[in-house]
Amino acid sequence: MWQETSAVVEGIIRRQTQFASSPEEWIFSGPHIYVGNPLSKTPRETCRIPTDYDPIDLVDLPVDYLPRTNYVSVCDLDTYRSRTPRVPWDAEKRVTDFYRFVARRQLSHTGERTLFTAIAPVQAGHIHPVLSITFQDVAELVGFAGSCTSLPFDFLIRTTGKSDLYESVLRLLPLPAASLSLIIRTLLLNCVTSHYSALWRDCWQNTFFNERWSKADTRLDNARFTLLKPDWSWVTPLRTDYERRQAIIEIDVLVARALGRIPFPVVQQNERDTWYDRRGRIVFTCSKGLPDVGFPRSEWEKIRDTAYGIVPRKIADDALPGGLRERIIEYLAPFDRCDRESEYATAWKFFDEAGI
């Protein structure tokens, strides 16, 4: 959409870090995006290098939250809109008139994941290190976005050996039929604020009520599905780390079933050393993709064997408008890890029995 150098020279955007007050003021950068999460990180007030970002706590988020943006428009709104690309099926419609698939363009072949994708809200823009696709059919958007969340699609992209994600690479991916189970899990991951209300409403189906988690755990409540409503609210999306992880596990299986194969490269090191509390928060992880999430290792070693009770963690949080604030995150012990391989087997059997 906006190439940082040429768009600045042409007087369309300029580098300036500030909170966006509307989706049209939000210009996506790569670190905003994680796996199925359009609000993974926000730039710090002073953002000069790629590590100058803070994680966004989805549990502690205003209903209409927007993160900081590193670029703002400098032209008037009409000019900005006139320079925005149009879709091929309607010359009057801009790409930003639609919810869109967005992805980090730079591909990592040494990290835990290669493909980082999400769904962008209507009117949001992006700079060149992000690639987007506009879909005429919203169901295909959600189905493709959900598939790209999965390890099978991550694996397919990794095998290309490409370092940049372009249309030519994405054309290599299949577009399997999206099951209802895939659609609802993709929506629950991406529709994290009220800016996704229209997408939720457009995709709503009464049969969402019938969905269930594939495994039993106190941190996974099937009321998550039975209490869903046609209108989006703050309680609609998945907000805890544990719920979001389970949704991605189940998407992995659903996509593998749709493809008729099981290419599951297990991220063993991170799985062995990512710990959750009883409320589903990550209390410690060695994952390089989730910096500043949970305790640092030195503090974790002191509290990891806590048998019960609350373990507080004081943090300086600058992810919300209003300035830096100090707050306490409370983790409920005991803490445990997950077993991805056994969960894949459980989810596969669950969807087999459900005929999905």
d(CA 278, CA 336): 8
Instruction: Dump pLDDT digits (tens) for 226-235.
Output: 999 999 999 9
Confidence of residue 236 (pLDDT cuts 50, 70, 90): very high
Same domain, yes or no, for 281 and 140?
Answer: no
User: Among 113, 118, 160, which Cα is nearest to 266's?
Assistant: 113
Instruction: Give this prediction's pTM.
Output: 0.91
- Count of the separate structural domains present in the chain: 2
Question: What is the per-residue pLDDT for 8?
Answer: 94
Question: What is the per-residue pLDDT for 176?
Answer: 87
Same domain, yes or no, for 260 and 286?
Answer: no
Instruction: Dump pLDDT digits (tens) for 331-348.
Output: 999 999 999 889 999 999
Same domain, yes or no, for 239 and 320?
Answer: no
Same domain, yes or no, for 192 and 301?
Answer: no
Same domain, yes or no, for 90 and 72?
Answer: yes
Secondary-structure percent of the chain, ordered helix, strand, coil, rounded to 5: 35, 20, 45
Q: Is the residue at 351 inside a domain?
A: no
Q: Is the residue at 229 inside a domain?
A: yes
Full residue range of the structural domain in which residue 66 is found? 1-266
Question: What is the per-residue pLDDT for 288?
Answer: 79
Of 242, 266, 290, the residue at which a domain comes to its end is 266
Same domain, yes or no, for 57 and 159?
Answer: yes
Q: Has residue 3 got a pLDDT over 80? A: yes
Same domain, yes or no, for 160 and 73?
Answer: yes
Question: What is the per-residue pLDDT for 34?
Answer: 96
Same domain, yes or no, for 112 and 45?
Answer: yes
Instruction: Dump pLDDT digits (tens) for 60-101.
Output: 999 999 999 999 999 999 999 999 999 999 999 999 999 999
Instruction: Dump pLDDT digits (tens) for 238-248.
Output: 999 999 999 99
Q: How is residue 158 written in tokens?
A: 């990794």
Q: Is the residue at 349 inside a domain?
A: no
Question: What is the per-residue pLDDT for 266?
Answer: 53
Same domain, yes or no, for 148 and 239?
Answer: yes
Most distant CA atoms of the chain, gap in Å: 62
Same domain, yes or no, for 191 and 140?
Answer: yes
Mean residue pLDDT across the chain: 94
Same domain, yes or no, for 51 and 200?
Answer: yes
Instruction: Dump pLDDT digits (tens) for 186-206.
Output: 999 999 999 999 999 999 999
